[in-house]
Structure 1
Amino acid sequence: MPHDHHDHDHPHALLPPEPALRVKALETILTDKGLVDPAALDEIIDTYQNKIGPQNGAKVVARMWSDPAFREAMLTDPMPLLEELGFYGRQGEHIVIVENTDDVHNVVVCTLCSCYPWPLLGIPPGWYKSDAYRARVVREPRKVLAEFGLDIPEDTSVRVWDSTAEVRYLVVPQRPAGTDGMDEEALAKLVTRDSMVGTGIVQAPTQDSAS
């Protein structure tokens, strides 16, 4: 459900404040205890970063733009279709789809940690996990989005969705003008990771991408 825009203090584990250092510290501890195989961990990271990545989410967005029946089903109950497509698994057990319109711009955060729809978007970027983003986008979403280069009109409301361990969100950006004749594969190439988090928009295609 959308965040109520109140700021809350949450207890944090006694780990380094920088997300990358936290990950390295945890990896070292788990490896030292024999609970993690570094080679297996590298393979998992490579899978989510290079073999899954945001292209799965982009395929979903492109199909929602092109197929009205698929769009309605995804907005109503996306999990059966995501399972059918194979975009399901750890960190993606329950996905909610939210759609940007002229009236509403959606943006996703995880205020407690960095919950993120891995099967659709891959590994979260560093800024998504940063303390600054997690705290500020709730309090001052328009200002944060402006720092990403988004100037949201005053008559468009900004809705912040707080991901949890149980629920993760995918933003469906607005389809840009000039894409009417494009097939799903070409449309998917226009969709960026940031646009599916809500910190970016999909740009109109260039002549090369539209051809």
Structure 2
Amino acid sequence: MKFSTEELLKGIQSGDKRLIGKAITLVESKKPEHRVQAEDLLKQIMPFTGKSVRVGITGVPGAGKSTFIENFGLLAISKGKKVAVLAIDPSSAINKGSILGDKTRMEELTKEENAFIRPSPSSGFLGGVANTTFETMLICEAAGYDYILIETVGVGQSEVLVSDITDVFLFLKIIGGGDELQGIKRGIMEMVDLVFINKVEKDNLQ
């Protein structure tokens, strides 16, 4: 079923998760007719954006990004806030597919009425985010989410585009990962606002 721009706008503003999802699918589409409607929708939601706190969360795969996001999201919701999570999954260079499994690692957060979780494939787009992450973020802002958490694909030293579209850029590190030169490499370490040391386990303290 095709929705008009007006229907999508009303759905976004009323917090209808189904129509929020439809709007995001629209801006992700590469079909020419969808691009025209997406641009019109984005123009109409602009006056309702800019009030959310945008948080980018990055780190190597397995650093605990999804676990951190779920716990942060549950805490924020317990304090009366609404939380949107944009989880970017890496796409296969061979078949272009993506697992989009981050939602399954946030079982408790998924159950919350004031939480919205949207997995998206990176589709080969560099920078730790997807090609339409910024537009998706605007839709979530217009829907009234107080915090928008962007979980990157697990970036390297130079993929720091996420820092340009967020208010706070958080880097999750694991104890014992890399030698002392890792701490002075240019790239992501120069872009982050906060560094969290995660998975501080006895075996990693050597």
Per the normalisation by structure 2, the TM-score is 0.31
More strand by share: 2
- TM-score (norm: length of structure 1): 0.30
